[in-house]
Structure 1
Amino acid sequence: MTTPTSILTGERADLLEALGKQRYFLRYPTRDLTDEQAALCTTASELSLGGLIKHVTLTERGWARFMVGGAEAMERRDEDEPAEWADTFRMVDGETLAGLLDTYEQVARETDELIATLDLDLSHPLPEAPWFEPGKTWSVRRVVAHLIAETAQHAGHADIIRESLDGAKSMG
């Protein structure tokens, strides 16, 4: 039996609230945009608003897999995931902002369910990668903290990209 996230209290509720707030700040800059606007790179980087939503979705999906099954599960790819690394950061032909936001919402619901039900102390060794300390393990709790930070960082990017696009701001 699963626990509805709406009745959680304590640490789990705090983690879900923090992650939810950062997800909101990531999605908000995409308001009222066309697909063409969402695909535009408006700064010196190659990032677009649609590309950021897609990247954060795929990243969160991977970390959700890690929470359940460790590094091996994290490295698995679904058939709808891009084969090319660069395509994980941009909108490609046939993708729409609405579709990317819907997928993000679905992944968020699945992640929230894991946060609500998994043992937060459950740990797995991190995948071998130059950006991870060899032999290090992360708990579900540590992964959630990472997702909050990652989402917040990209929400800041999204705000700058949107302001560069048409002057709209998330705050101020």
Structure 2
Amino acid sequence: MTTSTQIDTERTDILEMLAKHRHFLRLTVRDLTDEQAGLRTTVSELCLGGLIKHVAAVESNWAGFIVNGPEEAPDFSSMTEEQIAQWGDAFKMLPGETLAGVLAEYEQVAARTDELVRTLPDLSVSQPLPEAPWFEPGGRWTARRTLMHIMTETAQHSGHADIIRESLDGAKSMG
């Protein structure tokens, strides 16, 4: 039997882990200009501002999935070339975008996710996964599993960001 103390501890753990990984991602852009946040430092298309935009979009989509199911996920199988290009823009700093604006959007997404973690009646509620080659057919994810995926995505991209930042000017988030 699960007690309310266990549930509160679980939610606290989730919120603390999300906060930790978000912190390290944001730390990679400390003291950068908008121009620097948009620079590519590797053969990849990734830049620091674009990574934060991507992480914010992914977190927003997955938090929406917890509440609304697979219709919140992009349908990659039927995307037009224009939609694919728009998806790719999520990895770039576009003209007129600022690092401060990207960070503010990420902060809003994080606040909405944190509120969901605090208020969702049951972390075991599940939704069917969207159809995609990387998901098992007919699979379902609980809110708990989806939140762990958001943490994993944030941590993974924080590592990417650390490499990009070190390539940019030698600064590191850790070490």
TM-score (normalizing by structure 1): 0.89
Assess if the C-alpha contact under 8 Å between 2:41 and 2:167 holds in 1. Answer: yes
Aligned pairs (5 A) from 1:15-164: 15-75=14-74, 84-118=86-120, 119-164=122-167
The offset of 1:73, in angstroms, is 3.0
Q: In the TM superposition, what is the alpha-carbon distance from 1:10 to its structure 2 partner?
A: 0.4
Unaligned runs of 5+ in 1: 1-7, 77-81
Aligned residue among 157, 165, 169 for 1:166: 169
1:67-109: CA deviation from partner (whole Å, max 9, x where unpaired) = 1010013349xxxxx9711101111111100000000000000
CA-based RMSD of the aligned residues comes to 1.7
Q: Give me the whole-angstrom Cα distance separating, in 1, the residues matched to 2:94 and 2:107.
A: 19
Contact (CA 8 Å) 2:62, 2:72: kept in 1 or not?
no
1:111-159: CA deviation from partner (whole Å, max 9, x where unpaired) = 0011111110110000001111110000000001101111000000010
The SS at the match of 2:69 is helix
Residue type at the aligned position of 1:65: G
Partner-residue secondary structure (3-state), 1:141: helix
For the residue of structure 2 that corresponds to 1:30, the secondary structure is: coil
> Sequence identity, in percent?
64
Equivalent residue pairs, number: 161
Query: Partners in 2 of 1:9 and 1:96 — Cα distance?
Result: 37
Residues 124 and 144 in structure 2, CA contact (< 8 A), matched pair in contact too: yes
Name structure 2 gaps, 5 residues minimum. 1-6, 76-83
In 2, Cα distance between equivalents of 1:121 and 1:26: 28
Q: How far apart in 1 are the matches of 2:85 and 2:39?
A: 22
Could you list the per-position Cα deviations for residues 4-52 of structure 1 after superposition, in whole angstroms to 9, with x for gaps in the alignment? xxxx940000011011100001110100000000000001211000000
